[in-house]
């Protein structure tokens, strides 16, 4: 059976059977996806993380399907109704829905009208009606023998009504008819919505006040919007279908001969469709539409989160973080280049002139005392006023300081968390947010992993989707990013370590505890001294942990300890030793040799796998390298832009803040993000806005319109002259 699964998955993913088999074997042995993708390339023939996650999803589905088939066949066998034909049909089914359809006639049901009719002895009458052999007489004459006062069948009408109930349920339980109707409904039905409240109450759902769209074509984000409207009792939602045509379709399969029962059978078909089949399939279709929409929303959230986490860090700066506020003031924190807190305070930037003057003097004092080079302003309440204050201060004093607006989503969540209490025990909860706002531009990944991904604020409808599926996907994204970048073992927080391959929360705490008790790690092998970190965990995590200035320069590279001998052999073949990785001139010479080295030749010479050789060459070329260094740095600025300054037709530079199904939100330097509707992204055909832009991209865009009343800015990417584009 496993082999059958492997063949099926291989065909679906357009990869080889042996790749799937190797991947599943490694996964079943407890290896993580980042570890397999990075350090077991020879075994899987270089499957990437996307392939591996797809394999996990499909093998889990297929194994659950097989388990469900066994349960169903056992249940039917216990009823002594499992025929060879039915067993084969169940075994041949490739989808869970097909299996459940086949099981429907045998599934234990509540006390239905059909079951009550069977208890009254009317099943034989139903069978007579379905045979359709009587062409003379009346249905009442045929039903007369089934009158039974003791069983509650007092008239022929009651007998025939019970027989129709049995037939209606049999039709509804037919896997063939359900499959046929399912296809027809998906092809021909429309989903429709209307306001369930007044237009004023339902103004957020005006677009859907009289809305209809074909089920098979409706966009995922519109499904989620409609669902939200229905859940909040703002909308009434239903399917519009050609019911009479559907009933006629079933009738042609049930009524196969002219008989005295034709009208009764027609009534049974109509009842089956209206009372049983359509309500069931309507729920199923709505459920599938929602599941597909949620899957798309979760996928989009994950892709946005990946881009956000992988933004280039602004390293080397002393940063002042400002968490804006009106009544309670603006919280300030200054952190050094490594994130250590140097000073905190509360400034009143929106109160009296005296308080504003005092705040200005304090800031100038802090700038000079701590040599602040960058200011990070949170984008929440009072952000505009804070930016206005900072911009004026910089320009009046001709300061060599830049600022940027930072997405502060989740800062308050972090501030009140147990992790924040442990990291910043001496700070008031209100000041911790300013520290987070400062740190998250120094290293977005290290800081954002401390926050529940759902609170980071990218994507769409994240609170409306399956929370378990969302959490699982986002955890996978964070895990992937953390392991791609690598983690500095001697400075990483427990939150960051938790996402390293193979390390759970308790082991992460033990690593930090060992570090606090024994000092910094000087080599990766010391990890084996950490409580509950055994050889298997070491194998999974070691390659993703970095040690700067340690005993072995390879500890500051992605080279796995199991490949250290091979790395040294490569160096030896090229005429170098490990010391070359720590000497600038030797490293420069080594890089030149590595650029000329042929991985295939080295692999043959050293009897090693070519993918591993390639990875080692890359790692040796740039020891300690952060892969995010290749990305564009976030935009900083010194001057504020006002909504009234924006002129339609002008070109502005901005940073992509969020990507949705319907367009892209861009931070162009003012409090309100502009929207590039998907129709304004490109003249070329594309499937999704993500095909054009990603979170963090720095772009030039044209202002189409500014709506000051509704506080909306419409932008265009496709109308920017080519000479203006990046």
Q: Is 494 contained in some domain?
A: no
Q: Is 250 contained in some domain?
A: no
Among candidate residues 714, 593, 604, 605, the one with its CA nearest the CA of residue 652: 714
Going 54 to 58 to 61 to 63, the CA torsion angle's sign is negative
- Structural contact between residues 489 and 507, judged by C-beta atoms closer than 8 angstroms: no
Q: Are residues 340 and 453 in the same domain?
A: yes
In whole angstroms, what is the distance from residue 344 CA to residue 438 CA?
12
Number of domains in the chain: 4
Q: Is 197 contained in some domain?
A: no
Q: Are residues 624 and 693 in the same domain?
A: no
> What length is written for the chain?
726
pLDDT at 726: 44
* Residue whose token pair is 């089920």: 215
Using the predicted structure, report yes or no on whether residue 454 has a pLDDT greater than 90.
Answer: no
Q: Are residues 555 and 465 in the same domain?
A: no
Structure tokens at 320: 């002042």
In whole angstroms, what is the distance from residue 266 CA to residue 47 CA?
56
User: Coil, strand, or helix at residue 173?
Assistant: coil
Q: Measuring CA to CA, how many Å separate 614 from each of 36, 41, 362, 589, 653?
A: 16, 11, 54, 18, 38
Structure tokens at 26: 């490694």
Give per-residue burial for 669-708: e unless 16+ CB within 10 Å, then b.
bbbbbbbbebebbeeeeeeebbebbbbbbebebbbbebee
Using the predicted structure, report yes or no on whether residue 149 has a pLDDT greater than 80.
Answer: yes
What confidence tens digit (pLDDT) does each residue in 173-208 have? 999 999 999 999 999 999 999 999 998 898 889 899
More confident residue, 324 or 668: 324
pLDDT at 724: 45
In whole angstroms, what is the distance from residue 636 CA to residue 375 CA?
9
Q: Are residues 589 and 715 in the same domain?
A: no
Strands 545-546 and 374-378: unpaired
Bin 487: left if φ > 0, else alpha if -120 < ψ < 50, else beta: beta
Q: Are residues 459 and 591 in the same domain?
A: no
Could you tell me the CATH number of the domain that includes residue 12?
1.10.10.650
- The alpha carbons of the chain give a radius of gyration, in whole angstroms, of 33
Q: Is 14 contained in some domain?
A: yes
Task: List the single range of 75-89, 369-383, 553-567, 658-672 with lowest mean pLDDT.
Answer: 658-672
Q: Are residues 466 and 376 in the same domain?
A: yes
Q: Are residues 593 and 461 in the same domain?
A: no
Structure tokens at 665: 């939100």
What confidence tens digit (pLDDT) does each residue in 46-88 have? 999 999 999 999 999 999 999 999 999 999 999 999 999 999 9
What confidence tens digit (pLDDT) does each residue in 505-524 have? 999 999 999 999 999 999 99
Tell me what the mean pLDDT of segment 117-130 comes to: 96
Q: Is 254 contained in some domain?
A: no
In whole angstroms, what is the distance from residue 615 CA to residue 592 CA?
16
Write down which residue in 600, 630, 660 finishes a domain: 630
pLDDT band per the 50, 70, 90 thresholds, residue 433 = very high
Burial class of residue 595, CB neighbours in 10 A (0-12, 13-18, 19+): exposed
- 3-state SS, 697-719, equals CEEEEEEEEEECCCCEEEEECCC
Q: Is 617 contained in some domain?
A: yes
Using the predicted structure, report yes or no on whether residue 154 has a pLDDT greater than 50.
Answer: yes
CB atoms within 10 A of CB 391: 18
Using the predicted structure, report yes or no on whether residue 590 has a pLDDT greater than 60.
Answer: yes
* DSSP string of 380-441, one letter each residue: STTHHHHHHHHHHHHHHTT-S-EEEEE--TTHHHHHTSHHHHHHSTTS-HHHHHHHHHHHHH
- 3-state SS, 240-265, equals ECCHHHHHHHHHHHHCCCCCCCHHHH
Q: Are residues 612 and 685 in the same domain?
A: no
* Residue whose token pair is 């990766």: 524
Task: List the single range of 77-86, 380-389, 614-623 with lowest mean pLDDT.
Answer: 380-389
Among candidate residues 484, 465, 466, the one with its CA nearest the CA of residue 476: 484
658: Cβ contacts below 8 Å, ≥ 6 apart: 304, 457, 458, 459, 664, 665, 673, 695
- Structural contact between residues 344 and 434, judged by C-beta atoms closer than 8 angstroms: yes
* Residue whose token pair is 């519109």: 222
Using the predicted structure, report yes or no on whether residue 299 has a pLDDT greater than 80.
Answer: yes
User: Coil, strand, or helix at residue 647?
Assistant: coil
Among candidate residues 671, 570, 692, the one with its CA nearest the CA of residue 619: 570
The 8-class DSSP code of residue 257 comes to S
In whole angstroms, what is the distance from residue 69 CA to residue 124 CA?
31
Could you tell me the CATH number of the domain that includes residue 573?
1.10.150.310
What confidence tens digit (pLDDT) does each residue in 391-415 have? 899 989 999 899 988 888 888 888 9
Tell me what the mean pLDDT of segment 433-443 comes to: 93
Q: Are residues 399 and 456 in the same domain?
A: yes
User: Coil, strand, or helix at residue 362?
Assistant: helix
Percent of the chain at pLDDT above 70? 97
Distance in angstroms between the alpha carbons of the first and the last residue of the chain:
53
Q: Kind and range of the H or E element at 7?
A: helix 2-13
In whole angstroms, what is the distance from residue 36 CA to residue 629 CA?
25
More confident residue, 350 or 454: 350
Using the predicted structure, report yes or no on whether residue 632 has a pLDDT greater than 80.
Answer: no
Q: Are residues 599 and 663 in the same domain?
A: no
Q: Are residues 588 and 660 in the same domain?
A: no
pLDDT band per the 50, 70, 90 thresholds, residue 639 = low
In whole angstroms, what is the distance from residue 670 CA to residue 722 CA?
25
* Residue whose token pair is 């699982």: 472
Using the predicted structure, report yes or no on whether residue 127 has a pLDDT greater than 60.
Answer: yes
pLDDT at 628: 78
Q: Kind and range of the H or E element at 674?
A: strand 674-677
pLDDT band per the 50, 70, 90 thresholds, residue 111 = confident
**Phi/psi of residue 161, nearest 5 degrees:** -65, -40
Using the predicted structure, report yes or no on whether residue 725 has a pLDDT greater than 60.
Answer: no
Write down which residue in 441, 470, 499 finishes a domain: 470
In whole angstroms, what is the distance from residue 613 CA to residue 601 CA?
10
The dihedral formed by the CA atoms of 516, 519, 524 and 528, expressed in degrees to the nearest 10: -60
Residue numbers of the domain that contains 427: 319-470
**Phi/psi of residue 550, nearest 5 degrees:** -90, -170
Using the predicted structure, report yes or no on whether residue 640 has a pLDDT greater than 70.
Answer: no
What confidence tens digit (pLDDT) does each residue in 6-21 have? 999 999 999 999 999 9
Could you tell me the CATH number of the domain that includes residue 436?
3.30.420.140
In whole angstroms, what is the distance from residue 560 CA to residue 136 CA?
86
Tell me what the mean pLDDT of segment 556-565 comes to: 96
Could you tell me the CATH number of the domain that includes residue 661?
2.40.50.140
Write down which residue in 470, 501, 532 finishes a domain: 470
Q: Are residues 338 and 461 in the same domain?
A: yes
In whole angstroms, what is the distance from residue 37 CA to residue 544 CA?
12
């Amino acid at each position: 059976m496993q082999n059958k699964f492997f063949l099926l998955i291989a065909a679906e993913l357009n990869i080889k059977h042996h790749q799937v088999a190797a991947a599943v074997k490694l996964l079943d042995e407890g290896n993580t996806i980042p570890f397999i993708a990075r350090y077991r390339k020879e075994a899987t023939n270089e499957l990437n993380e996307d392939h591996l996650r797809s394999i996990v999803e499909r093998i889990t589905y297929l194994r659950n399907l097989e388990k469900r088939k066994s349960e169903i066949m056992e249940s039917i066998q216990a009823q002594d109704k499992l025929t060879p034909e039915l067993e084969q049909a169940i075994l041949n089914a490739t989808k869970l829905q097909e299996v459940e359809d086949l099981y429907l006639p045998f599934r234990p049901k509540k006390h239905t009208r059909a079951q009550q009719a069977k208890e009254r002895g009317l099943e034989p009458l139903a069978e007579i009606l379905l045979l359709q052999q009587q062409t003379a007489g009346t249905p009442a004459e045929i039903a007369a023998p089934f009158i039974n006062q003791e069983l509650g069948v007092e008239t022929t009408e009651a007998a025939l009504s019970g027989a129709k109930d049995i037939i209606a349920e049999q039709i509804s339980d037919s896997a063939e008819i359900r499959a046929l109707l399912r296809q027809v409904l998906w092809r021909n039905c429309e989903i429709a919505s209307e306001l369930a409240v007044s237009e004023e109450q339902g103004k957020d759902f005006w677009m859907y006040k009289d809305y209809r769209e074909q089920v098979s074509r409706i966009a995922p984000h519109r499904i989620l919007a409609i669902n939200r409207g229905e859940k909040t009792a703002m909308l009434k939602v239903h399917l519009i279908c050609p019911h009479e045509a559907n009933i006629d379709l079933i009738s042609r399969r049930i009524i196969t001969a002219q008989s005295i029962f034709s009208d009764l059978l027609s009534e049974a078909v109509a009842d089956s469709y209206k009372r049983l089949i359509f309500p069931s399939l309507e729920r199923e279709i709505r459920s599938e539409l929602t599941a597909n929409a949620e899957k798309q929303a979760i996928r989009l959230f994950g892709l946005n989160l990946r881009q956000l986490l992988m933004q280039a860090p602004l390293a080397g700066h002393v940063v002042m973080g400002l968490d804006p506020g009106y009544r309670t003031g603006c919280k300030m924190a200054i952190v050094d280049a490594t994130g250590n807190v140097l000073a905190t305070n509360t400034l009143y930037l929106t109160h009296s002139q005296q308080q504003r003057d005092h705040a200005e003097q304090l800031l100038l004092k802090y700038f000079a005392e701590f040599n602040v080079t960058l200011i990070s302003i949170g984008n929440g309440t009072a952000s505009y006023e804070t930016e206005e204050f900072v911009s004026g201060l910089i320009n009046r004093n001709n300061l060599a300081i830049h600022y940027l607006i930072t997405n502060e989503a989740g800062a308050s969540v972090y501030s009140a968390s147990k992790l924040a209490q442990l990291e910043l025990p001496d700070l008031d909860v209100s000041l911790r947010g300013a520290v987070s706002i400062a740190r998250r531009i120094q290293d977005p990944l290290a800081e954002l992993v401390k926050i529940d991904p759902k609170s980071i604020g990218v994507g769409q409808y994240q609170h409306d989707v399956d929370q378990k599926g969302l959490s699982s996907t986002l955890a996978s994204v964070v895990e992937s990013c953390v392991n791609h970048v690598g983690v500095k073992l001697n400075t990483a927080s427990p939150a960051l370590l938790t996402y390293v391959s193979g390390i759970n929360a308790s082991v992460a705490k033990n690593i930090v505890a060992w570090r606090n008790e024994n000092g910094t790690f000087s080599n990766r092998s010391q990890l084996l001294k950490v409580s509950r970190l055994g050889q298997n965990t070491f194998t999974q995590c070691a390659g993703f942990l970095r040690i700067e200035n340690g005993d072995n320069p390879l500890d500051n590279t992605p080279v796995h300890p199991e490949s250290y001998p091979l790395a040294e052999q490569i160096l030896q073949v090229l005429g170098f030793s490990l010391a070359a990785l720590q000497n600038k001139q030797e490293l420069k010479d080594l890089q030149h040799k590595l650029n000329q080295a042929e991985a295939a030749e080295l692999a043959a010479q050293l009897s090693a796998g070519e993918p591993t050789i390639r990875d080692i060459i890359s790692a040796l070329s740039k020891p300690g390298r952060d892969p995010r260094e290749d990305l564009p740095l976030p935009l900083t600025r010194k001057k504020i832009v006002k909504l009234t300054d924006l002129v339609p037709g002008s070109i502005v530079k901005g940073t992509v803040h969020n990507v949705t199904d319907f367009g892209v939100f861009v931070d162009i330097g003012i409090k309100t993000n502009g929207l590039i509707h998907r129709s304004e992204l490109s003249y070329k055909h594309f499937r999704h806005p993500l095909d054009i832009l990603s979170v963090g991209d720095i772009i030039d865009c044209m202002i189409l319109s500014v709506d000051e009343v509704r506080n909306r800015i419409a932008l265009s990417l496709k109308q920017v002259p080519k000479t203006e584009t990046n």
